[in-house]
Amino acid sequence: MALKKKVIVVGGGFAGIQFIRHLDETIFEVLLIDKLNHHQFQPLFYQVATSQIEPSSISFPLRNIFKTKKNVQVRLAEVFSVLGSQNKIITSIGEFEYDYLIIAIGCKTNFYGNSNIEENSFTLKTTYDAISVRNHIILTFEKIISATEEEKESLLNLVIVGAGPTGVELSGAFAEIKRNILPKDYPGIDFSRFKIVLVEGSKNTLNAMSENSRTASKKYLEQMGVKIYTETYVKNYDGETLTFQDGRTVKSKTVIWAAGVTGNTLESIPPESLMPGNRIKVDRINRVSWADNIFALGDIAYMETPLYPKGHPQVANVAINQAKKLAKNLKCIVMMRPLKDFEYKDRGSMATIGTHKAVVDLPFVKFNGYFAWVIWMFLHLMLILSVKNRLIIFINWAWAYISKDTSLRLILTQNKKK
Q: Terminus-to-terminus CA distance in the chain, angstroms?
A: 61
Q: Are 27 and 331 in contact (CB under 8 A)?
A: yes
Outline which parts of the chain fall under CATH 3.50.50.100: 115-259
Which has the minimum average pLDDT: 163-167, 241-245, 388-392, 397-401?
397-401
Res. 416: pLDDT tops 90: no
Q: Supply the pLDDT for residue 386.
A: 87
Pairing of strands 294-296, 100-103: parallel
Outline which parts of the chain fall under CATH 3.50.50.60: 5-109+261-335
Q: What single letter denotes the amino acid at residue 28? A: F
What is the rounded CA–CA span in Å between residue 270 and residue 267? 9
Options 3.50.50.60, 3.30.450.40, 1.10.510.10, 3.90.550.60; CATH of 5-109+261-335: 3.50.50.60
Q: List pLDDT tens digits, range 321-362.
A: 999 999 999 999 999 999 999 999 888 999 999 999 999 999
Q: Supply the pLDDT for residue 165.
A: 95
Taking the CB of residue 203, how many other CB atoms lie within 10 A of it? Answer: 9
Res. 407: pLDDT tops 80: no
Sign of CA dihedral 332, 333, 338, 339: positive
Q: Supply the pLDDT for residue 406.
A: 65
The architecture CATH gives domain 115-259? 3-Layer(bba) Sandwich (3.50)
Give 180's pLDDT tier (boundaries 50, 70, 90): confident
Helix residue spans in 254-369 (DSSP H): 316-335
What is the rounded CA–CA span in Å between residue 225 and residue 100? 52
- Comparing C-alpha atoms, which of 111, 321, 347 is closest to residue 237? 111
Give the full edge-to-edge strand order of the sheet including 88-91. 79-83, 88-91, 94-97
Q: List pLDDT tens digits, range 149-178.
A: 989 999 999 999 999 999 999 999 999 999
Q: What percent of the chain has pLDDT over 70?
A: 96
Give 412's pLDDT tier (boundaries 50, 70, 90): low
Q: Supply the pLDDT for residue 404.
A: 76
- Comparing C-alpha atoms, which of 326, 320, 337 is closest to residue 294? 326
